[in-house]
Amino acid sequence: MDYKPLQIGEKEAKIPLIQGGMGIGISLGSLAGAVAKEGAVGIISAAQPGFREPDFEENLLEANLRAIKKEYEKARRMAPEGVIGFNVMVAMNHYKEHVEAAVEAGADLIISGAGLPVSLPEYVPVEKAKIAPIVSSAKAAGVLLKLWGKKYNRTADLLIVEGPQAGGHLGFSLEELSAYEKCRESYEKEVLSIFLIVQEYEEKYKRKIPVVLAGGIDSKEAVERALELGADGVQVASRFVTTEECDADIRYKESYLKAEKEDIVLVKSPVGMPGRAIKNPFIDRVYQEKRIPPKRCYDCLKTCNPAETPYCITQALMNAARGDIENALLFCGARAWKAERIESVKEVIDSLFFSK
C-alpha cells in the first residue's frame, strides 16, 4: 500500500502517523523529537511534565509551564523541521494555562481529549497552531464541530477518533467497551459515521480535515485496515513505550515486555473515565482496600476530590515514570502485551509502514 503524507493545514508529516501523548513523563521531548525526526508527528504530554523539576512540589503550575517550554525545545533541537505538538487533557486543572504555554512554546499542533475540548479554539490563535480534538463517537464529533462552528466560526484542523482498544483514559463506558471489543464491525460503523460528519464540515469550510484513527494500532495490518476504512493516518502510543528513546524509566518499559494478555485490564480512574492498564500490586490494592488516601494534592484534575478519590492518579503515574512499578498505574493499550523487545523509534515506524 502506498502511503500519503499527513497534511495538517500547511504542516506536513511524510509518515501519516501521530505518536500518542502519554503522561506522566512517558512522552516528553526525547520521544516526541525522535518521532518527528523520522517524519511522523511527535507529541509531548502536558500532564505534569514538570514532575522532575526541582521545585515541582512547591510550585506545581510554574514547574509544569516551564517544563512545557523545555521539553518542546528539546524535541525541536532533535527535529528542526519536524511536526511537534502537545496533548492537553480537558480534565486538567489550569487547562487554559497549559494550552497557552504549549502554543507560546511553538507547538505545531494541540491535541485535546479526556472530555470535549469545547473552549480549545479560544486559547489557540488560528495563525499560531493547529487544533485537533479527540472523540470516540459520531455524537461527540457532531456536537463539538457544531459548537466550534457556531461559537468561533472555526473547525478542527484534524480529528482523532480513539477506539475501544486504546490505552489510558477511554471515552467509553465499561459496557460500551465490552460491546465494542466483542464486535469490531460496530466500531468501524461508528468510524464511518464520523467520516460523514467530517465531510459536512469540509464542504462548509472548503478544506480538508484529516481523520486519524487511534487505539490498538500495533502492526502494519492494523495501519492498512485503518487507511482502507478511509482514515488519513493513525495514532500509535503503546508501541513507542518500548523504545530506546521513550522518556520513561526502563522498568516501566520492561513491564510491557513481561505482561501477558490476561494482565491487561480495565480500571477505574479518578478522572471519571475507565482506563486500561497492566495488572500489578497497585491495582490489586485499589480493589482490595477501595481507597488509597492521597498524601498530598497535586491539583491535577477538575473532577478530583482529594477527600474521596480512590487514589492519587498523579502519584501513581509519577511512580510509573520513575520505575516504582509496584506502586504505579501502568497505562497501556489492549495489545501492549505483544511487545517483545526494546526497539528504536525508527524500527517501530518501519515495522508499521515498511515491513514486508
**pLDDT tens column, 259-292:** 999 999 988 777 677 888 999 999 999 888 778 8
pLDDT beyond 90 at 295: no
pLDDT, one tens digit per residue, over 244-258 is 999 999 999 999 999
pLDDT tier for residue 181 given thresholds of 50, 70 and 90? low
Determine how β-strand 130-135 pairs with β-strand 159-162: parallel
pLDDT beyond 70 at 338: yes
Check residue 168 and give its pLDDT.
76
pLDDT tier for residue 41 given thresholds of 50, 70 and 90? very high
CA distances from 80 to 38, 211, 244 (A): 11, 25, 20
Mean pLDDT of 203-226: 95
Mean pLDDT of 295-314: 77
HEC string for the chain: CCCCCEEECCEEECCCEEECCCCCCCCCHHHHHHHHHCCCEEEEECCCCCCCCCCCCCCHHHHHHHHHHHHHHHHHHHCCCCEEEEECCCCECCHHHHHHHHHHHCCCEEEECCCCCCCHHHHCCCCCCEEEEEECCHHHHHHHHHHHHHHHCCCCCCEEEECCCCCEECCCCHHHHHHHHHCHHHHHHHHHHHHHHHHHHHHHHCCCCCEEEECCCCCHHHHHHHHHHCCCEEEECHHHHCECCCCCCHHHHHHHHHCCHHHEEEEECCCCCEEEEECCHHHHHHHHHCCCCCCCCCCCECCCCCCCCCCCHHHHHHHHHHCCHHHCCCECCCCHHHCCCCECHHHHHHHHHCCC
Check residue 165 and give its pLDDT.
81
pLDDT beyond 90 at 231: yes
Extract the C-alpha cell encoding 138.
459520531
Check residue 9 and give its pLDDT.
92
Check residue 187 and give its pLDDT.
83
**How far, in whole angstroms, is CA 103 from its chain's centroid?**
17
pLDDT beyond 80 at 300: no
Q: Which domains does the chain have, with CATH numbers?
A: 6-247+339-353 (3.20.20.70), 250-338 (no CATH)
Check residue 182 and give its pLDDT.
59
Least confident of 28-42, 57-71, 300-314: 300-314
Check residue 179 and give its pLDDT.
61
- What percent of the chain stands above pLDDT 90? 76
Check residue 308 and give its pLDDT.
75
Mean pLDDT of 87-98: 94
pLDDT beyond 80 at 185: no
Most confident of 151-160, 182-191, 287-296: 151-160
